[in-house]
Structure 1
């Protein structure tokens, strides 16, 4: 056949170019909603359908439609028929094609309204439109995810720059909540401590940092959920769908709420609250959940570092206190004690009575100074709330071994730790310290026994030694302090001479 006799495919070529041009126009937008509308319109125009519906799968509610777009003569569609858009080949009539994004069913479009039943050509065209829409939606999603990651990286970097020198939670946490609120488009973002001492009137938890408006109202509504997350240690995520405008198809705006526990070394339960956040277009809710979980992890790192710095500072202070206490005990007290012995010996050889009296007064002043220094040493070494009362007593008695020249015996009876409060424990420790100091200075004893007994209603301290006893003309300087401590707490003091030698001091108060 001569070439001039062959048919010219100009009509088919023009038809193919028109199809390609239409498919290209679908991909020129950067807005997912515009893309879906364009895809639906193109599918109807290319296949000759008079109307069509495109439904988007609701990722948070399986089997439901989140958005619906309509074109042409289709103005309404019952809810029961909308659900068929999510089922492969579920349309009872017309033509349906699934939109796949990264291998998952994102949605489906259904075309109707032909004078004759659609054929293979119409089906292929509908599937091509759905495929092009799915590929471009995937590209947009990856772009939005990349943008989200960049925003998260920038926010974390900005927060981390505040940690270069030292952690200031009053700066770092508010900055973190502000940046999270921006990238999640949330109404409220806060870091709260549910088990902190609540306000007596409102019962509100302590807010470490927050960003947004009406924070108190939002946290008040979420208080039971925050308490549950804090107790269980498991995150909670849910969505709230606002009513759609009258002229819009499908559902209204979907708002997310996330409560994520913040794990710290201290064990204090903290919760990151992100209330009414909005996912970026093309970013799934699960992706946003992952981002908020990562932010909570970063918040825990900030809090742990702040705790570490506090512990380091405290350790430095305690080391200085121990060093000062050791120097006072090993150097100052020993020198004062030696000076006191020298002055006391000189007083015995004084000829004039007034000189002897002054020397004795000087010895008494030195004794009082030594007692004051010992009290200071005790305060430096004693850590309130650390360990147990029994351990504090053992530590105190053991600390007098170098001064006494022997180890005193400690006897503990009854539930000492459980029946005594902080104030009573402090008084007991002071009395034992005063009694041991008197034994070391005056008793010349070879053994001492300290007994502490607790009953349901009384706490008794006894300090016995085998020394020379107390002379009739002794000045009760230290013993006077012991009596005063008993009077202040409704207690009593008894001083007994033991046979054949020695003294027993008994001090008791009600508990």
Structure 2
């Protein structure tokens, strides 16, 4: 054994030999094994660095995609941005987002990447069968290397571009599946990877949050629209503007995105409601139509006092309750109190449009409740104003009767008394004044009756209105306006059926006088005498005349006999014709 110094020297020599240049003059060398290990480590380091860069790039892409889908709160725009961002992030040529309907089909299908000509050739969009239906039935991510080899595949319709690779992930909103994101044909022909799936799930989670925000924004906008519409129709109804109900249905047509809106109100017939206003398409001739309550959606809603929504109105409703193309229909009761339903609102969308949702039903029901209360308030306001007017008219009528008529009657008596002591010429003039005062007193009494009845609703003043209209109609044929005199409480004691007969008699009598009498004056007297209504038409014309004229009066005699009344046609001493018609009350 050598000394320690020798060992050190020997070791140094070995190390020097290992690091010394080779005989051929080459540089430093390493053992072959060590060199291979170093190359492998460098290669792995480069690959890891490339993976880190790729991952960082994808993360930046995911962040950019998340920012892109959060830039717009309009739901249709947002859904398209989600699909475009997914295609960009994952390198897919085609992308789509299917929104799931309550019946587990796709109610909306937003797609990108396809040529418009291809879309036109394909025609109808997918509804959620085949591969697309896998995620609807089982909402878990799906990756396929070749769609055509999937057992559940239906195949592509004619004109559809070829697709092989597939990635699908669900989009959830508040724990419920809103829809599915579909990606096909990754660029380069490669299959989608597990990393692609993770990125798609992350993007779907961001999309779910954005969709929920868009939904909340949309609901807030809709609530604002409904509140604005309610306030507007309230002002119109309370202001008693002309066509207030027409404005209600027009406004509802706009705010509900509907193509048919109708309002039907109760009438005297308890078995029907009558269409009072309508808006949208297919509205001609609908106003005034009656909708029976027995066995109809309208009757059901009014009985239950609960709004109703149907998906296909053709199966459940009458033609009077919907438009020709109506699919989804909402029927809303106008409930103004616990036991008072004044009518219904019918709101329809065409079959090609999006059906009404539960949110639409709730908003429309609130609108209908506001309309019902406003209509009731307007009715109460009108009744109160009518009572005020009636009170004023009653006071005026009493003053006319108790003061004016009595004074005029006293003046007439005084003139008659003075006439006894005057010369015959003056007496005749005074008696003429007395006759004029008598006519004036009768006119005032007629005005008193009109004052007492004019505060009633128009439909209750039908008799006076119709007789005055007939007088105006025959004026051109007569050459003057016939005198009309009323007496007694006609509007109070004459019912609708008897009023219809009286109106027909007055029209026939005045029309005959205009055609045949050649009169210079015609007077119609309509009043209540005892327990009968009496119509007298007196003219100063040529008299009864030939049988041709008599034949036109046969209907008047028949009406009187039908009601148990009387009819006569005579010639007064001074000439002309006196038609008398009476019927019991």
Alignment TM-score, normalising by the size of structure 2:
0.47
Equivalent residue number for residue 146 of structure 1: 220
Could you say which residue in structure 1 is the equivalent of 2:61? 22
Give distance in 2, aligned partners of 1:351 and 1:43. Answer: 119
In the alignment, structure 1 residue 67 sits paired with structure 2 residue 108: yes
Distance 2:127 2:435 in 1: 103
CA shift digits 1:463-487 (9 cap, x unpaired):
xxxxxxxxxxxxxxxxx9xxx9995
Shift of 1:57: 0.3
Q: Does 1:35 align with 2:81?
A: yes
Alpha-carbon separation, structure 1, partners of 2:285 and 2:202: 47
Match of residue 105 from structure 1: 177
**Contact residue 99 and residue 130 of structure 1 kept, 8 A:** yes
1:320 maps to 2:395: no
**CA 459–106 in structure 1, closer or farther in 2 if over 3 Å, else same:** same
Aligned counterparts of 1:25 and 1:223: Cα–Cα separation in 2: 60
Match of 2:564 in 1: 458
The alpha-carbon deviation at position 325 of structure 1 amounts to 0.7
Alignment of 1:312-391 (within 5 A): 314-339=386-411, 370-382=441-453
Residue 377 of structure 1 deviates from its aligned partner by 2.3
The corresponding residue for 1:464 is none
Residue 488 (str. 1) matches residue 559 (str. 2): no
Partner Cα distance (1:269, 1:100) in 2: 41
Between the aligned partners of 2:308 and 2:405, the Cα distance in structure 1 is 59
Larger radius of gyration: 2
The alpha-carbon deviation at position 42 of structure 1 amounts to 6.5
TM superposition shift of 1:328: 1.1
Q: Is the Cα–Cα contact under 8 Å of residues 264 and 275 in structure 2 kept in the other structure?
A: yes
Q: Which residue of 1 aligns with 2:135?
A: 85
Aligned partners of 1:418 and 1:160: how far apart in 2? Answer: 34
1:394: which partner in 2? Answer: none
The answer on whether the counterparts of 1:51 and 1:113 sit within 8 Å (CA) in structure 2 is: yes
- 2:529 corresponds in structure 1 to 431
Are the counterparts in 2 of residues 91 and 110 from structure 1 also a CA contact under 8 Å?
no
The DSSP-based 3-state class of the residue aligned with 1:23 is helix
Structure 1 residue aligned with 2:203, among 122, 129, 145?
129
Work out whether residues 189 and 274 of structure 1, in 8 Å CA contact, stay in contact via their aligned partners in 2: yes
Contact 2:237 2:378 in 1 (8 A): no
Contact 1:185/1:278 (8 A) holds in 2: no
The answer to whether the 8 A contact 1:43-1:129 is kept is: no
Partner of 1:409: none
Distance between the aligned counterparts of 2:111 and 2:292, measured in 1?
Answer: 39
Whole-angstrom distance in 2 between the partners of 1:433 and 1:343: 36
1:488 aligns to what SS in structure 2? strand
Deviations 1:168-206 (A, max 9, x none): 234x666666665555555x455555889xxxxxxxx86
Q: Is the 8 A contact 1:55 1:85 kept in 2?
A: no
CA contact (8 A) 1:57 1:66 kept: yes
CA 1:346–1:176: 2 relative to 1, 3 Å? closer
CA distance in 2 between counterparts of 1:183 and 1:260 reads 16
Deviations 1:55-94 (A, max 9, x none): 32024xx111223467999x99982443332234478986
Three-state SS of the structure 2 residue aligned to 1:105 is strand
Q: Flag the 1:152–1:379 CA change in 2: closer, same or farther, 3 A.
A: closer
Please give the secondary structure, in 1, of the residue aligned with 2:529.
Answer: helix
Distance of 1:330 and 1:107 partners within structure 2: 82
Deviation at 1:135, TM superposition (A): 1.1
- What is the RMSD of the two structures over their aligned residues, measured on CA atoms? 6.1
1:57 and 2:131 aligned: no
Alignment of 1:245-256 (within 5 A): none
Equivalent-residue separation in structure 1 for 2:249 and 2:198 (angstroms): 50
CA contact (8 A) 1:39 1:130 kept: no
Instruction: After superposition, give the CA deviation of every residue in 1:324-352 in whole Å (9 maximum; x if it has no partner).
Output: 2110122123334555666777889x699
| Paired residues of 1:229 and 1:271 also in contact (CA < 8 A) | no
Give, in whole Å, the separation in 2 of the partners of 1:485 and 1:377.
29
Q: Which deviations, in whole Å up to 9, do the C-alpha atoms of 1:93-131 show, x marking residues without a partner?
A: 867643112332202346799999976x66654432321
Shift of 1:422: 6.2
Name the CA shift for 1:86/1:118 in 2 (closer, same or farther; >3 Å). Answer: same
Q: Is 1:168 the equivalent of 2:241?
A: yes
Distance 1:133 1:357 in 2: 104
The runs of 5 or more residues in structure 2 that have no matched partner are 1-40, 115-121, 145-166, 268-273, 302-306, 314-324, 461-492, 507-524, 534-560, 567-571
Against the structure 1 CA distance between its residues 109 and 367, is the aligned structure 2 distance closer, same or farther, given a 3 Å change threshold?
Answer: closer
